[in-house]
Amino acid sequence: MPDLPFDPEKSQRETLRWLVLLTLNAARPLGAGETLILDTVRQVIPHCTPRELHAELDYLMERELIHLEGRDSPQWRAKLTRAGMDVAEYTVSCEPGIARPPKY
């Protein structure tokens, strides 16, 4: 089977999702506002925009890995679900779409 070409945009989206999960795992049990999440992920992805973050927060919510509050307000707030904690802590396998590195 031939290798697929590298897709940097897909790689960035999947990395962003993993960074969000790690950030929210560190912020347990309270969760975190989007400003804190954005400041944290920008340490790795400096050009990440609020719009990109919102898209990936929506994705993680649809996969039932996070709860989102305040989507109709200027400041979104996120918190891991039980399933999200399990993915962040390597308790369960991680389905495609999140750039979780292999456990060392």
Domain residue ranges of the chain, discontinuous segments joined by +:
8-88
Low-confidence ranges of the chain (pLDDT < 70): 1-3
Burial class of residue 25, CB neighbours in 10 A (0-12, 13-18, 19+): middle
pLDDT of residue 2: 58
* Cβ(31)–Cβ(78) below 8 Å: yes
pLDDT of residue 93: 94
Fold adopted by 8-88: Arc Repressor Mutant, subunit A (1.10.10)
Residues 6+ apart with CB under 8 A from 29: 79
pLDDT of residue 3: 66
pLDDT of residue 49: 96
pLDDT of residue 7: 83
